[in-house]
Amino acid sequence: MITLAAVLAYASYITVQLAGLRKLQSEMVDRNRKDSLQLLRVQNDLNSIGLAMRDMLDTTEPYPLTAWTAQFERIHQDFDTGLKLEENLAGANRTPEQRLYLSQAVAQFWDAVNRMFAQAQNGKDAEARDQIRLSLQARQQALSTAVSRLLVENNEGEEQAAARIAQIYDGVQRQLYLFLAATLIAIVVTSLYLIRSNRQIFARLAELSEQRSDLAQKLISTQESTLRHISRELHDEFGQVLTAIGSMLGRAGKHAPQGSPLREELKEVQEIAQSTLNNIRTLSQALHPVLLEEAGLESTLDWYISAVGRQTGLALHYEKTGEPFAVETSAGVHIYRVLQEALNNVSRHSGASDAWIRLKYSPDSLELEVEDRGKGFVSEKMQRGIGLVAMRERAELIGGTLAISPHPQGGTTVRLQIPRIRAHANGA
């Protein structure tokens, strides 16, 4: 706003100065030059009259004085026309005294010329020549001097106008430099202020981002710790209890008579206890895959993908490429959770019956890809879903990137890519 205000103020100033300069050039300089041209025209007529009077005084001339009547009439006509134009152009540059003196001098001169030609027509050539010598030449010189003085005044006025124009140009140039300096200062100050503000904002954002990452890491860590505790409780406490119940039912069944109803009922209860034990072990593995710590990521994914296929009825197409390498346990937990959330979304929201899972090992990264041909994600849900937020947070915690993109043939592709060095070193 400061810069814009400065530009508008300077533009107004320049407009006023240029308007004044244009007025000065049109009203003073151009008008003065046209006036000088008319004065030169009058001066030229006076010079022509002077030459004609010199010839008229020459006694060797064979022509009578009346022979110059037509020439004087032509000069008189041109003289009056030039003088009228000059009077209109001079305007306020002439004082009333100058106007009065010039008009009287011109009138007296032509009156004397008319008297001279009247004497010549009456045959009084000697008296006519005396009048030229004694009166007309003096009056012609006086008029030439007056016109010359007006030309000098015009030249002086033109010089003054040129000085004023140069002064205006100097002022505009000086103001231009001041404006440019002020604009540069305003831009520098504004830029420094914006840089300082942006640094503060970015520093605050970085601090908030760091706090958010720390909070996310603590929440995920707390979640994993809680799930690990519940998984162990289910596996150790309930698993051992159900195992003991199954053993006791087996021993009790041996004491019952062969083929008796009691033996059959005990066997049925033992099968229920075993089924419950299997379900608890499956739930325990789903909450926290102990297999991940014991056998590694690849074996855990093999077991989990087949288990999900049986539980959900999805046709899961699993493909592994590249040379496998060991993945650190904590990084493997995050990869496992991303796969778990992606397959849950396929099962619950996509409406697809097939999914493609690709695990790609490369020399510098590990990539997990889950693809379906269902109805895809709604962009609003992609931004608000807590599961997707957790997937992104887990990807950031292990230095990876998570990309969720629509498939060209319909459906969604979830791609997790982790640098190999982070997959090895994370949590170590």
**Residues 249-270 pLDDT 10s:** 777 877 777 777 887 887 888 8
Helix (H) or strand (E) holding 402: strand 401-406
Q: Which residues of 29-64 are buried (b: 16+ CB within 10 A; e: fewer)?
A: bebbebbbebbebbbebbebbbebbeebeeeeeeee
Beta partners for 359?
320, 368
Least confident residue range of 48-52, 102-106, 172-176, 186-190: 172-176
CA distance 2 to 211: 38
What is the predicted pLDDT for the residue at 380? 42
Residue with structure tokens 């899961």? 316
Averaged confidence pLDDT in the chain: 82
What lies within 8 Å, CB to CB, of 235 at 6+ separation is: 280, 281, 284, 290
Closest CA to 94 of 38, 24, 164: 38
What is the predicted pLDDT for the residue at 385? 60
> What is the band of 415 on the pLDDT scale with cuts at 50, 70, 90?
very high
pLDDT in tens, 368-409: 999 998 887 654 454 456 778 888 888 888 888 999 888 777
What lies within 8 Å, CB to CB, of 355 at 6+ separation is: 314, 315, 316, 317, 343, 346, 370, 371, 372
* pLDDT at residue 125 tops 80: yes
- Quote the tokens at residue 287: 């909450």
- Quote the tokens at residue 205: 């954002």
> What is the band of 426 on the pLDDT scale with cuts at 50, 70, 90?
very low
> In percent, how much of the chain has pLDDT > 70?
93
CB atoms within 10 A of CB 306: 12
* pLDDT at residue 357 tops 90: yes
User: Long-range contacts: 172-181, Cβ < 8 Å, 24+?
Assistant: 172/14, 172/17, 172/18, 175/10, 175/13, 175/14, 176/10, 179/6, 179/10
pTM as predicted:
0.49
The structural domains of the chain, ordered by start, are: 2-188 (1.20.120), 292-425 (3.30.565.10)
Cβ–Cβ < 8 Å for 358, 319: yes
